[in-house]
């Protein structure tokens, strides 16, 4: 367990900013929306000033709040019928563009599991706690997501 490492808000924003932005972007698919959620999450953090025991606790809080904010964002009356996905993303190459396109075809709730598992390298159990889902649900969602992304999967990706 890492002790609390960051005492000022700037350090917290730069440390957790990438993760929050990635989760928001992976769910919304647009930079514009991801930026809105990024700010909303940090505003909640700054206003609420939650107390944490360690950095894992703080990280779990940010994941939970980002997922909640993104879910609310999609059901908000002001959001409906507004934007399309991937309209403002620039890709490194064709393969990356294909991967990004395929990622946005899978359901949102699978995208966050993919991100936490493959990028944050969290275990099924840790993801279950962070997203408040049963381990079996997380495992099923991961399996389904892999099946949908099978073109990009190697055999070893199933055993990581």
Partner 1 sequence: MFKDKYKELMDSYKPSEELINRTVKLAKETKQTTSKKAKHKHLRPILIGLCLIVCTTVAYPALAATIKRIYELMYLAPPSVAETFTPVEISHESNGIKLEVVAIDISGNTAKVYFTLQDLIDNRIDKTIDLKDSYNIEGVGTAVCGCEFYGYEEDLKKATFMITITDLDSNDISKSITDNLTFTLKQFSHENQKYGFDESFKIPVNLEYIISDLKGTQEVHANGAGGDYEKYTGRKIFKEKAEAIIQNIAPVSVGIEGFNIIGAGYKDDKLHLQVEVSTGNTLNDCGYLYLRKKGDTKDVICLYNISFSNYEHMPNEDDELFPLRYEEEIFDIPKDELSNYELFGYFIKEGQVIEGNWKVSFPLTFEMSNSDQYQKNITK
Instruction: Name the residues that contact partner 1, by CB under 8 A.
Output: 9-10, 13-14, 17-18, 20-22, 25-26, 31, 34-35, 38-39, 42-44, 46-48, 50-51, 61, 64-65, 68, 71-72, 75-79, 89, 91-92, 95-96, 99-100, 102, 105-107, 109, 114-115, 118-119, 132, 137, 144, 147-150, 152-157, 160
Between 9 and 87, CB nearer to partner 1: 9
Residues 6+ away with beta carbon under 8 Å from 9: 46
Instruction: Return d(Cα 33, Cα 131) in angstroms, integer.
Output: 21
Shortest distance in whole angstroms from residue 16 CB to partner 1: 10
Shortest distance in whole angstroms from residue 3 CB to partner 1: 18
Shortest distance in whole angstroms from residue 2 CB to partner 1: 18
Helix, strand or coil, per DSSP, at residue 111: helix
Q: Which of 96, 103, 131 is nearest to 27 (CA)?
A: 103
Shortest distance in whole angstroms from residue 155 CB to partner 1: 7
Q: At what angle do helices 135-148 and 124-131 cross, to 10 degrees?
A: 110
* Contact status, residue 105 vs residue 148, Cβ threshold 8 Å: yes
> Helices in 29-93 by DSSP H: which ranges?
31-48, 55-75
Shortest distance in whole angstroms from residue 126 CB to partner 1: 14
Between 14 and 123, CB nearer to partner 1: 14
């Amino acid at each position: 367990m890492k002790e609390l490492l960051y005492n000022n808000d700037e350090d917290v924003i730069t440390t957790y900013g990438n993760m929050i932005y990635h989760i928001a972007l992976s769910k919304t698919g647009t930079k514009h929306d991801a930026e809105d959620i990024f700010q909303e999450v940090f505003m909640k953090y700054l206003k609420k000033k939650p107390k944490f025991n360690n950095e894992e606790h703080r990280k779990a809080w940010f994941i939970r709040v980002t997922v909640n904010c993104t879910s609310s964002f999609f059901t908000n009356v002001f959001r409906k019928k507004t934007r399309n996905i991937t309209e403002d993303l620039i890709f490194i190459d064709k393969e990356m563009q294909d991967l990004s396109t395929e990622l946005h075809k899978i359901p949102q709730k699978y995208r966050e599991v993919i991100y936490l598992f493959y990028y944050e390298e969290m275990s099924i159990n840790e993801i279950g706690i962070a997203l408040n889902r049963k381990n079996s649900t997380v495992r099923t969602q991961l399996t389904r997501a892999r099946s949908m992304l099978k073109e990009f999967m190697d055999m070893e990706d199933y055993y990581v």
